[in-house]
Structure 1
C-alpha cells in the first residue's frame, strides 16, 4: 500500500527545487484528510427481508454483543488497575525515594522530570499528585518546588494511552488515528509545560493566583475529612483485590522519610500474593506481563466487537452522538460542552488514564474524530485535578498549603485549555502535531515503541541527569537544542506553506545526510533485524526437520518453511 505520510521525518525533504516546484505547489490539489471519518455503507438487511432463523440470530447477537462488550471493558479496566499495581511494585519505592530528595526538587526542570518519571513508574497521575500533596501537607515540601512535579505528572499519565494505541497496529489507518488520539494528550501537556513552566519560574503566576484564593478562605485549623469517592474502584476492587493488594501509604511514608525502603508494599490479606516469598520486583514483573497480555487481548476483542456492533444505523447514531455540534448561535459552545463532559466522566471514574484509554480505540475505529477527542481529553485533564483537591481536603497536616497546591494543579490545566483551545489559532498546534505523529507511525510502525521509550523514559532521565550538574550546564545544553528544534519546525512550515521566502538551498533538506533528514535508514535497519530473526527461525526449523525421524513431521515442517520462504512474508514492512 502506498504510504500516505508525506512528513515522516523530523526534517522533511523535497526532491526538487526551483520554479517548476513553485508552480506545482500553487496548482496542487487539496490534500486528503487522512483523519476524516469514513462513509458508513447502508448495508443493513431489513427486518422484513430476514428469515425466521436470521431474526433469532440477530436478536441473540443484539443481546450478547453489548453484554460481552461490557465484560471486556470491565476486564480492560481491571487490567489497567493491575498494570498500575505492577508499576508500583517495580518502581513505587524508587519513586518515593526520588520525591524525598528535597535538594534536587528545588531545580524546577529536575522537579518536572521527576514528576514525569514517578508518574510513569506508578502509572497514575492521581497517585503521584496525591503523594506530592501529602508531602506538602506534612510540610516536607513547600508549594513552589512542588508545582513543576505536578506539571510532570500531567505528562507522565499519558503513557497508558500510548500503550493502548499500540493494540491497533494491525490496521494501518486505524493505527494512524489511534496513535494520533493517544499523542494529542502528550502534545497538549508538553506545550502547556513549555509555555507555563518558564512563566511560573519567572512570575510565580500559579502560586500567586492560588495564594490569593486561599487568603479569602476563613482562617481555621480544622482540616477536611472528605473521602475520595472512587466509583469505578468499587466495581473493579472485588476482582483486583483478589489478585494483589498494595499499601499505597508505604510509598507516601518513604517519600516523607518515615518508611523503610526495603520493606514490602504488598499487603497481607486474602489475595494471590498475600503469603508470597517473592520480592516486590518479581511479583511486579509477573503482574506486568500478565496485565499487558490481558490488556492486549481485551483491546483486540473490543475493537473487533466495535466493528461488529457499529455498523449501519447504529454507527451513524454513535457518530452523531459523539461528534455532534450545537446548532445556531451557540454552536461554538460544542467544544466547551465536550470539555465539561470529559471532566465529569473523569471525576466519576477517578482516572484520566482510564477515560482517555477507553476512548482511544473509538478514535481508531472511526467512531470519534480526533478533533472531538481533543476537548474530551482537555476535560479529563481538568477532571483529574479532583483527586488532588480531595487529597488536600482529607489531609491531616497543613490544609491550606496542600489545598494551594491542588489549586495550582487546577489553574495549570485551566490556563492550558484557555491557551490551546479557547485561542483558536493555537488550538491547531497540538492537533496537527498529533496528526504528524500518527502519520509517522502509520509509515514506520516501530516508531511507536521508539517514541514510548524516548519520550517517557530516556528523555526525562537524560534531562534530569543534566539538571543535576547545575542550572548553568542545563541552560547551556537545553537552550541551543530548543532553538535548533524551533528553527527546524519553522523552516519545515515555510517549506510547506511559503517556500518562496526561503533561500533555494533551504527549500529542501537534501543537502543533509539521509540519516539526519529521514527515518528510512533506521527503517532499513529494523527490517534487516526482523528478516534475520525470521531467517534464524527458518534455519532452526530446518535443523529440527533433519533431526526428526518422523516423515509426518517432515511434511509439517516443510509447510512452515515454505511459509517463511515466501517473498511477500519476508518483505512485509514492519
Structure 2
C-alpha cells in the first residue's frame, strides 16, 4: 500500500498499483482469518516450526551460532548500540535502571575493585573488630569499592548526542520507514524493468494458457506457480 501511494503521480500506474496492493492486503487478512482459528484449535504451526527448529540443533548461550548477526552487526553498530546490562536490569525489575539510557555510549570499560576506608552508621554491626574502628563519633570500616573506568567511546551515530531515548527511537523509526519504502520502490522498479520483452510474452502465454477439459481448472494454479516463481 505504501508503494502504491508513491505511484500517485501517474494515474494509470497508481490505479494498477493500488489494485494490486488491495488484493495483497485482502489475501493477508483472509490468510489470518483462515489459519488463525486452525492454529488456535490444533497448534499445528507451533508443532511444525518446533520440529524444524529442533532439526537445526541450535545451541543457546555463548555457544549459539550467529546466523544473520554476522552480516548485520557491523552495519547496525554504526547506527546504534544498546546497553544490554540496562535491558537485563529492566527485565529483572531493578529500580536503579529506570533512569538509565538504553543507548550505549562507552564500548570499552574496566571495573576496578579496591579496598577503601569508608564510614558507616554507628547502628551498623561490624563483622569483625579488626575491620572496624572508631575515631570520635565516626565509625570506620574497610569495604571493597567498585569503580568503573571509561576507556573507549562507541562509534555509532548517537554516541555523542544528548538526545533522550524517545527522540532517538523516533528518529530510528523514521529512518527505518524511509529505508523500507525505498527498498520496496526499487524492487517494484526492478520488476518493471525485468518483466518486459520476451519475459513478458512468456508470462502472458503462461497466464493465458487454457487446458482442455477436464483440466481447465489447472490454468489458475499454473498462473499462481508462475507468479511465485517470478
TM-score, L = length of structure 1: 0.22
Structure scoring higher RCO (CA < 8 A, sep ≥ 6) equals 1
Greater C-alpha radius of gyration: 2
Q: Which structure features the higher share of helix residues?
A: 1
